[in-house]
Structure 1
Amino acid sequence: MVEKLYFGPAGVPLSSPKKDIYNGIKYTYEELKLNGLELEFTYGVRMKDEAANNIKEYIKDKDFIITCHAPYFINFNAQEKTKLENSKKMLYESAKKTYLSGGISVAFHPAWYHKNSPEEVYKKARESIREVINKLIDENINIVIRPETMELKNKFGDIDEVINLSLDIDNVLPAIDFAHLRYRYNDNSIEFFRKILEKLESNLGREILDNMHIHMSGITLDSKGTHKILEESDMPWRDILRLLKEFNCKGIIISESPNVEEDAVRMKNYFEKL
């Protein structure tokens, strides 16, 4: 269990002289003075076990958290059996490599609705996620699996769906993407974000507030929900950080802004002054 909020970039910082993940983590910790990083498996899990072990060795005596983002190709409502099985494999491989790296948490986009009802997709996603988690448990891979709140309404992943998955399946908690929530519900008021935290606590208790996996960025209100730099967006990120402080939230905030490390540093510096 972590004892504070950590901050880090999504992937290797843009300013890192060396672009491999090991040196990206070193640069994040030693030069940027950040205390977390998200492994970006978004286009495939290609990390070798040796690389994962090297990361674990580096962070073992440091106050530093590793998470990951599993591939975008995951879709637990895939209509073809091969794609569904590949989705399970990608989530499993993401979790395994993250665990070998000393990581604690795996965020992923759960599914598309396609032409199915939300109820049908929920049952299908729940079955697949449970299957992956049972395999991880059998292999003594202890890691939290995080269905993410999604931005587009044709994607599975509203706040209630990710909460219900967390209630139904062991080792599952939501990944809270505040920009996605702002887009999906078309609300960027402080009252809206307060209600999100209250809903999380009322359904999942202190466990979720003590173990948050958060994505933060600005967002464009276009057809795709394109990420923006915080200061160029209407995201009330300072208000959100103050809310997280008020609710005594712990865990990690990952910057997904186009200037990933700059916004991570900006948020960390602001939060530490609260």
Structure 2
Amino acid sequence: MDKLRFGTAGIPTCTKGDTIQGIKDVRKLNLDSFELEFVRGVNIKKEKAPEIKKVAKEKDITLTCHAPYYINLNSDNPKTFHASISYIANSAIITSLCGGYSVCFHAGYYMKSTPSKAYNNIKEGIKKILKEVQEFDKKIWIRPEISGKKSQFGDLKETLKLSQEFDQVMPCIDFSHLYARTTGSYNTYDEFKSILIEVEKSLGKKALIDMHIHIAGIEYGAKGEKNHLTLKESKFNYKDLLKVLKEFKCKDALLLKESYKKI
């Protein structure tokens, strides 16, 4: 990608219409990225995708997506495990048809598993996801997201390690989630630098110029993330984060979660 692009996670709050109108409104807001939010399911039909792709290209809007929230690749229920694989794979296929390049998702919960066991289960799930997706698209990124709750799989080290296992996997770096998950750490200029240094060390320079980033205001407690806030309401230090992203010459999509509205 050519630069760090800013956009909304979901349709902007000013939009009165569907995804296509949301993309047009993102451009009117002088933003250049848009995340399809498949919160309760993949609700864009294949027939609609070419029109979305056309409008996004005309408006120079980069597309990503967030797979449905009802996902747990560490579930001991086979039905849930396989449904999670389908949700993520279908999200990737539809996003690809829309012209998007990246799909992020919350990988699952530790539940009664050790972190090591959860990691292996989720790794196996991603292997199955890639098998389905690669029959259709060998380039779209599959991105486990850094999660905000301590009960969720997905700290920085886990997402980086998973990304090292597969050629088509990269992390979705949610800086606000990491801040909440660590109950207030990773919120200074030097701490933000340490994250990007670790990303580059683990995955190479490419990981900094082909990014999928989330930031938002966020409230946390002893167990991590409680709820999202506007950036102004939160103590999340987004100004220093932006300075670090500029210093490291990061590129691709940075999605602002506070503008979220369900599709």
**The two structures share one fold, judged by TM-score above 0.5:** yes
Partners of 1:123 and 1:67 in 2: how far apart?
26
Q: Which residue of 2 is the match for residue 41 of structure 1?
A: 38
Q: Which residue of 2 is the match for residue 26 of structure 1?
A: 24
Partners of 2:145 and 2:93 in 1: how far apart?
19
Offset of 1:128 from its aligned partner?
Answer: 0.9
Amino acid at match of 2:19: I
1:15 counterpart = 2:14:
yes
Query: 1:167 touches 1:204 (CA, 8 Å); kept in 2?
Result: yes
Query: 1:113 touches 1:121 (CA, 8 Å); kept in 2?
Result: yes
Partners of 1:141 and 1:247 in 2: how far apart?
28
Query: 1:25 touches 1:37 (CA, 8 Å); kept in 2?
Result: yes
Partners of 2:101 and 2:172 in 1: how far apart?
12
Q: Which residue of 2 is the match for residue 231 of structure 1?
A: 232
Offset of 1:50 from its aligned partner?
Answer: 1.9
Partners of 2:169 and 2:138 in 1: how far apart?
13
Q: Which residue of 2 is the match for residue 142 of structure 1?
A: 139
Structure 1, residues 66-118: CA drift from partner, whole Å, max 9, x if none? 00000111110111101101000000110011000000000100010001001
Q: For structure 2, which runs of at least 5 residues remain unmatched after alignment? A: none
Match of 2:79 among 60, 78, 82: 82
C-alpha change, 1:171 and 1:87, in structure 2 (3 Å) is same
Amino acid at match of 1:194: K
Q: Which residue of 2 is the match for residue 190 of structure 1?
A: 189
1:73 counterpart = 2:74:
no
- Please list every run of at least 4 consecutive aligned residues from structure 1 whose deviation after the TM superposition is greater than 4 angstroms: none
Query: 2:96 touches 2:137 (CA, 8 Å); kept in 1?
Result: no
Amino acid at match of 2:25: Y
Q: For structure 1, which runs of at least 5 residues remain unmatched after alignment? A: 262-274
Structure 1, residues 130-172: CA drift from partner, whole Å, max 9, x if none? 1111221122353001100011111100001000110001210
Query: 2:101 touches 2:141 (CA, 8 Å); kept in 1?
Result: yes
Partners of 2:138 and 2:170 in 1: how far apart?
16
Partners of 2:251 and 2:226 in 1: how far apart?
27
Q: Which residue of 2 is the match for residue 199 of structure 1?
A: 198
Query: 1:107 touches 1:148 (CA, 8 Å); kept in 2?
Result: yes
Q: Which residue of 2 is the match for residue 99 of structure 1?
A: 96
Query: 2:23 touches 2:61 (CA, 8 Å); kept in 1?
Result: no
Amino acid at match of 2:21: N
Query: 2:147 touches 2:153 (CA, 8 Å); kept in 1?
Result: yes
Structure 1, residues 39-87: CA drift from partner, whole Å, max 9, x if none? 0001111211122111111123442200000011111011110110100
Partners of 1:62 and 1:204 in 2: how far apart?
31
Q: Which residue of 1 is the match for residue 212 of structure 2?
A: 213
Question: What is the DSSP-based 3-state SS (H/G/I as helix, E as strand, rest coil) of the residue aligned with 2:220?
Answer: coil
Amino acid at match of 1:3: D
Partners of 2:213 and 2:173 in 1: how far apart?
5
Query: 2:93 touches 2:136 (CA, 8 Å); kept in 1?
Result: no
1:251 counterpart = 2:248:
no
**Pairs within 5 Å for 1:46-57:** 46-57=43-54
Partners of 1:184 and 1:250 in 2: how far apart?
25
Query: 1:99 touches 1:142 (CA, 8 Å); kept in 2?
Result: no
Percent identity among equivalent residues?
39
Amino acid at match of 1:239: D
